[in-house]
């Protein structure tokens, strides 16, 4: 069995023609930039492109296939010089049963099935060209359509305060919205880790995924996972999620939840820590953005029989490290090839030959999550505390 690094939630900012897909995404976040950057700079083995339902994105993929730069694997998925590309889409459901918007990820095995899904979607949303569009069907209808086309269905960043499964205080169970037998995995999001999520007994049946939700090139692989697979294909990824024949998630690599934008509860006005029901000590207002940690505490189950989970490694991305600016980062890439190599393989002694000793020490500490951090909240990232 082989090990592969995968980031399965990467957005398209603009198409080749300059048309917006993810409006909040960087203009440099084009398909060709993504796959080149992910493979050659980040060192990923698999990426999930989350806006493949957009017709112009499909056209770009077809052009790359016609040019021989991308090929389709017989068992599903695309290959770009050995790196896998999984065809995905992020959609927003919001009906009476959801009590607020929820984002989900749907992945499909082939260009044909993604085209068919895109055609179906165009009848159920307002703008097929844009990312994360609201789709006017129920969660269960979307699940059934995904399965009809041999796809995989994964609720996205399930604990964030906005647009997620557990984000709204009125929702307490996934069964209120989804058919639990048609869920293939659960994406945790930047403000939660395995230890937090496994407190919900109803999630015990699903593998946990950690992805970047990248809106710019530099955010690719800020969270990712290591997968046990025989080869890079969609069929193999399905076996990973089902835990079949030795496949599975080997490890999750993610931010310390304290660094996430929504970890703690804060005043919605000035982003200072606040307890629910109490006025802010600065502005006097009581409106809050509830933190993921507090929301999980509300939902916590009493059951203690937890399934085995792979390790969740609190790894801090290189662009979070103090003193490691663009020039030093480029120097590291020139010497060691990719960010995966720097984060996983390069000895500290070798790092010190390229960057200042202090920066090298911080990189090593970032690998194991040993850096001290100040918690984030209300949409603002946490920060590393230099000692």
User: Does any domain span residue 37?
Assistant: yes
Q: What is the structure's pLDDT at 167?
A: 83
Both 164 and 187 in one domain: the answer is yes
Q: Is 202 left (phi over 0), alpha (psi -120 to 50) or beta?
A: alpha
Both 249 and 338 in one domain: the answer is no
How far from each other are the two terminal CA atoms of the chain, in whole angstroms?
A: 41
Look up the domain containing 216 and give its range: 2-256
Both 272 and 325 in one domain: the answer is yes
| Coil/strand/helix, residue 370 | coil
pLDDT by position in tens, the chain (length 387): 899 999 999 999 999 999 999 999 999 999 999 999 999 999 999 999 999 999 999 999 999 999 999 999 999 999 999 999 999 999 999 866 667 899 999 999 999 999 999 999 999 999 999 999 999 999 999 999 999 999 999 999 999 988 999 987 777 889 999 999 999 999 998 889 999 999 999 999 999 999 999 999 999 999 999 999 999 999 999 999 999 999 999 999 998 888 888 888 888 888 888 888 788 888 888 888 888 888 998 888 866 667 789 999 988 888 788 888 888 888 998 999 888 898 888 999 999 999 999 989 888 887 776 777 778 888 888 888 766
Both 81 and 120 in one domain: the answer is yes
User: Does any domain span residue 144?
Assistant: yes
Q: What is the structure's pLDDT at 281?
A: 81
The stretches of 126-280 forming alpha helices (DSSP H) are: 139-148, 194-197, 234-242
- CA 308 to chain CA centroid, Å, is 22
Q: What is the structure's pLDDT at 96?
A: 67
Both 202 and 350 in one domain: the answer is no
pTM, to two decimals: 0.92
Both 198 and 335 in one domain: the answer is no
Both 107 and 177 in one domain: the answer is yes
Both 329 and 224 in one domain: the answer is no
Strands 2-10 and 46-49: parallel
Q: What is the structure's pLDDT at 172?
A: 80
Q: What is the structure's pLDDT at 305?
A: 65
Separation CA 114–CA 108 (nearest Å):
6
Both 235 and 283 in one domain: the answer is no
In 3D space, the residue among 113, 188, 180, 127 whose CA is nearest the CA of residue 153 turns out to be: 180
Both 87 and 208 in one domain: the answer is yes
Both 59 and 184 in one domain: the answer is yes
Q: What is the structure's pLDDT at 381?
A: 83
Strands 46-49 and 224-229: unpaired
In 3D space, the residue among 276, 306, 311, 308 whose CA is nearest the CA of residue 291 turns out to be: 276
User: Does any domain span residue 299?
Assistant: no
Q: What is the structure's pLDDT at 69?
A: 97
Both 181 and 139 in one domain: the answer is yes
Q: What is the structure's pLDDT at 120?
A: 98
Separation CA 1–CA 345 (nearest Å):
20
Q: What is the structure's pLDDT at 302?
A: 67
Q: What is the structure's pLDDT at 97?
A: 67
Please count the structural domains in the chain: 2
Cα four-point dihedral sign 195, 201, 206, 211: negative
Beta strands in 184-318 (DSSP E): 186-187, 208-209, 224-229, 248-254, 266-267, 288-289, 312-314
Residues 6+ apart with CB under 8 A from 333: 41, 339, 342
Separation CA 31–CA 85 (nearest Å):
11
């Amino acid at each position: 069995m082989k090990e592969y690094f995968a980031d399965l939630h990467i957005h398209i900012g603009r198409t080749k023609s300059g048309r917006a897909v993810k409006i909040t995404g960087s203009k440099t976040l084009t398909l060709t930039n993504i796959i080149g950057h992910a493979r050659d700079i980040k060192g990923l083995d698999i990426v999930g492109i989350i806006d493949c339902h957009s017709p112009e994105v499909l056209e770009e993929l077809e052009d790359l296939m016609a040019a021989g730069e991308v090929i389709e694997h017989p068992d599903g998925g695309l290959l770009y010089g050995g790196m896998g590309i999984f065809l995905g889409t992020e959609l927003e459901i919001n009906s009476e049963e959801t009590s607020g918007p929820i984002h989900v990820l749907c992945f499909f095995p082939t260009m044909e099935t993604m085209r068919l899904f895109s055609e179906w979607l165009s009848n159920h949303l307002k703008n097929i060209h844009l990312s994360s569009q609201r789709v006017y069907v129920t969660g269960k209808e979307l699940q059934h359509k995904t399965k009809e086309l041999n796809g995989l269905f994964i609720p996205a960043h399930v604990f964030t305060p906005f647009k997620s499964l557990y984000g709204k205080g009125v929702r307490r169970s996934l069964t209120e919205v989804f058919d639990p037998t048609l869920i293939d995995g659960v994406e945790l999001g930047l403000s939660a880790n395995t230890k937090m999520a496994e407190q919900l007994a109803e999630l015990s049946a699903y593998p946990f995924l950690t992805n970047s939700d990248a809106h710019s090139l530099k955010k690719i692989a800020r969270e990712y996972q290591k997968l046990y697979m025989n080869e890079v294909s969609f069929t193999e990824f399905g076996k990973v999620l089902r835990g079949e024949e030795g496949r599975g998630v080997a490890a999750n690599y993610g931010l310390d939840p304290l660094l996430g934008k929504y970890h703690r509860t804060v005043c919605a006005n000035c982003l200072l820590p606040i307890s629910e029901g109490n006025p802010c000590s600065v502005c006097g207002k009581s409106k809050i953005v509830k933190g993921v940690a507090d929301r999980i505490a509300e939902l916590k189950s009493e059951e203690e029989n937890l399934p085995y989970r792979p390790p969740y490694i609190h790894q801090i991305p290189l662009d979070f490290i103090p003193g490691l600016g663009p020039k030093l980062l480029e120097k590291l890439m020139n010497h060691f090839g990719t960010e995966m190599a720097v984060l996983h393989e390069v000895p500290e002694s070798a790092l010190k030959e390229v960057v200042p000793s202090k920066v090298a020490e911080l990189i090593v500490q970032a690998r194991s999550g040993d850096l001290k951090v100040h918690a984030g909240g209300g949409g603002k990232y946490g920060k590393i505390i230099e000692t």
